Structure formats: structure tokens, C-alpha cells
Amino acid sequence: MAALDGTGDRTLFTEGVRSALEAWPALQVAVENGFGGAYSQQKAAWMVTAVAEYFHDNVNLESEEVEDLLADLVYNEFDTVVEDGSLSEVAQQLHTLFGLCERGQESEVRARILQLAQRKGSVRVNAVRGGSPGNEGNEEEEDEEETEEVDESSEAMECETREPASESAHPSALAEPQGEPANGWTVVRRRKR
């Protein structure tokens, strides 16, 4: 891919990068929970600029190269490994946005940015606590777990995106059904009042 010529194209692409990253559940979980430390918000903002510059500074980027960049940034800045399949989806979105900007298809880019903004509001986050397999407690023990602090060494985050009925959901973006997931994790829910 060649670099975009006009500053309007660059600005529009940067806006697209921001929208794609803000709609990415894995990154937003990391930011909202401070996985990047006290400066998580600033790191997320910097990441938008870094990704946009990566596209502008490199020619003929492949989607896999963008995926590797995103994986490195999230790991280095947020100490997070993304294994939900969303890396390739976000990389492809960015690759497509850049191509549309290169061809001057501003209205299509703006439509995709709007879709991403709508998707951003549909992310639900569940805290998950590790437990030993076969050690299933009763409901009283689960209620006690809900009020306890979760030890960082056994904490994980589970994301679920809810797509509008007209769109097909990416299967890897959906969380496992409620209850006891197959991998031995116990879902910790807030007590209803």
C-alpha cells in the first residue's frame, strides 16, 4: 500500500483507526481495567497514532503484518495477549479502511466509521475468576465470591459483542454461554439487589 497523499485522507484514516480500536472489545477491556497502568487511556490514544503512522510509513502492507503490529502493541503496552480471534478482524478492518482512503472513497469510509461507532456501544464485559476444575461450589459460595476482590494472578476478562440482528456476529467475538465454561473458569457476577 502506498502512503495517502492528502492531509484530509490522512485525517480520515486516523479517524477510522480510532473508531476501529475503540470498537475492539479486547483493547477496551484492557484500557478500562487499567492493564496499561495509570496511563492506559493515553496509551490507547497513542496507539491510534502509531497504527496510522505504520500504514503511512509502509508500502504494500498485508493484513497479517497489521495483525502482528496490533498484537505487539497490545502486549507491550497493556501486557495483554489477545486470543479471541479479534486481532485478524481488526487488522482486516484497518486494511480495508486504508484501501478505501487510498481510492478516495470518503463516503464509504465515513459509513464504516459510523458502523464501528455503533458497535462500540454494544460491548459487554464480564470479570472471570479461575477455579480448580471439579471444585464447584454452591450458590452461597458464589455470592461470597462476588463480593471478594479477584486476585490479579487468576483474573481474566470475557467479552461479548452484541451485533444488531441484521449483521452476522463474528463467532469468536461471542462469549461462552453463562454457567460453567468448559475450561474450568467460574463466572463471577454482581449480586442483584
Residue 19 shares a structural domain with residue 114:
yes
- Please give the pLDDT value at position 175: 39
pLDDT digits (tens, 9 = 90+) for 179-191: 445 555 555 555 5
Strand order in the sheet with 155-161: 155-161, 123-130, 185-187
Model-wide pTM > 0.75: no
Q: DSSP label at 169?
A: P
Pick the residue with more confidence: 119 or 90?
A: 90
The predicted pLDDT at position 182 comes to: 53
pLDDT band at 118 (very low <50, low <70, confident <90, very high): confident
Domain-located, residue 1: no
Given 62, 87, 120, the domain boundary residue is 120
Cell of 144: 461470597
Q: Could you please report the per-residue DSSP string of 26-91?
A: HHHHHHHTTTTGGGHHHHHHHHHHHHHHHHHH-SS--HHHHHHHHHHHHHHHH-----SSHHHHHH
Residue 178: pLDDT band with limits 50, 70, 90: very low
The three-class DSSP label of residue 96 is helix
Q: Judge if 27 and 116 occupy the same domain.
A: yes
Into how many domains does the chain fold?
Answer: 2
Last residue of a domain, one of 120, 145, 166: 120
Range of the domain at 166: 123-187
